[in-house]
Amino acid sequence: MTNENDITLEDLELVRQSFQRCRTHAEFSDIFYDHLAQQSSEIGPMFAATDMVKQNELLQVGIESLIDFSAGDANVEVEIRRLGVLHDRQHHATRPELYPLWVNALVATIGETDSDVTPEITAAWQRVVAPGIALIGSYY
């Protein structure tokens, strides 16, 4: 069974289980932001004045929202759209071409923090986060 984005129930389950394993890794968010900063010299300065403790919490909630959005949770669409506005030209000014770098950093982090990661799980992550990332980026 798939939805309109060809995301299967198996994809969603693989990603949810993977995220649960990743979340047990105490350094998950730090590893993610290290990978993100390595994607482009432009990214690190974007977080210079950021409360990273709070940002780490927001990252976890954001990833959960991306997963729930792909699962068809209509209630979480409001949150994804709010993130789109927050990152648009008038706010954080996150250009759409930076979002694939965010996904690259996430996949690299999953590779380091999910003890059971496989190419199938990595591909499922990419499929599952894609719709929400596309919607957020469309607000730019």
pTM: 0.92
User: 110-114: long-range contacts at Cβ-Cβ below 8 A with a sequence spacing of 24 or more?
Assistant: 110/18, 110/22, 112/25, 112/31, 113/21, 113/22, 113/25, 113/27, 113/28, 113/31, 114/18, 114/21, 114/22
- Whether the CB-CB separation of 122 and 107 falls below 8 Å is answered with yes
Model pLDDT, residue 52: 93
- Whether the CB-CB separation of 87 and 138 falls below 8 Å is answered with no
Q: Residue 60 carries which side chain, given as an amino acid letter? A: Q
pLDDT (tens digit per residue) in 73-115: 999 999 999 999 999 999 998 999 999 999 999 999 999 999 9
pLDDT (tens digit per residue) in 10-19: 999 999 999 9
- Count of Cβ atoms closer than 10 Å to residue 39 Cβ: 17
> Which pair of tokens denotes residue 80?
């994804």
| Domains of the chain by start residue, with CATH | 29-138 (1.10.490.10)
Rounded CA Rg of the chain: 14
